[in-house]
């Protein structure tokens, strides 16, 4: 059964950053761009041979992020398989500046669907490229952290926000 939020694009190459403050971070690229970022669990690659320069670039940019040397990613993203609303929500999320947060309701209103906060939350839960598309910067209307699918859950989300200076807990 295929996930309604995200159908995986054909992943061609993958590799990982073995040492980050939140554990290993796996990255996969397809011929269209960055396809997956997964914290903890490995990503199986479908292709063999020399990986594209994009894979090395994505790993370097993520490493720079964790070293507080990068605030913005400059990577093409493989958005294939996303439902139209989820794509719009994730693109809006990608525009949230480093060190800032938005609520699910604010993103829903920005998308012209002010009562779609839960749908925005579902889109964030299906984010194929967390950190690069910073779903960790989306918080509840009460200002609290709600859900994060990576190992460590909300603690990982809080760590990423503290790393960016966007949370003081």
One-character DSSP codes across 112-147? T-TT-HHHHHHHHHT-SSBTTB-GGGEE-TTS----
Active site residue 135: yes
Please provide the DSSP assignment of 44-109 as one string. --S--SSPPHHHHHHHHHHHHHHTT--SS----B--TTB-HHHHHHHHHHHTSPTT--EEHHHHHH
Q: What are phi and psi of 132, to 5 degrees?
A: -65, -50
Going by the DSSP 8-state scheme, the letter that residue 29 receives in this structure is E
Catalytic residue, candidates 120, 135, 139, 145: 135
Active-site amino acid positions? 135
């Amino acid at each position: 059964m295929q996930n309604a939020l995200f159908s995986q694009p054909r992943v061609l190459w993958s590799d990982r950053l073995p040492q980050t403050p939140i554990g290993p971070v796996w990255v996969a690229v397809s011929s269209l761009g960055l396809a997956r970022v997964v914290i903890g669990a490995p990503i199986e690659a479908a292709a063999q041979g020399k990986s594209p320069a994009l894979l090395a670039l994505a790993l370097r940019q993520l490493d720079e992020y964790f070293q507080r040397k990068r605030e913005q990613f400059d990577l093409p993203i493989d958005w294939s398989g996303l439902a139209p609303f989820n794509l719009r929500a994730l693109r809006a999320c990608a525009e949230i500046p480093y060190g800032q947060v938005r609520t699910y309701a604010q993103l829903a209103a920005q998308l012209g669907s002010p009562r779609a906060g839960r749908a925005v939350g579902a889109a964030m839960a299906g984010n194929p490229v967390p950190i690069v598309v910073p779903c960790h910067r989306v918080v509840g209307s009460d200002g609290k952290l709600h859900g994060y699918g990576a190992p460590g859950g909300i603690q990982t989300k809080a760590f990423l926000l503290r790393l960016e200076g966007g949370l003081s807990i």
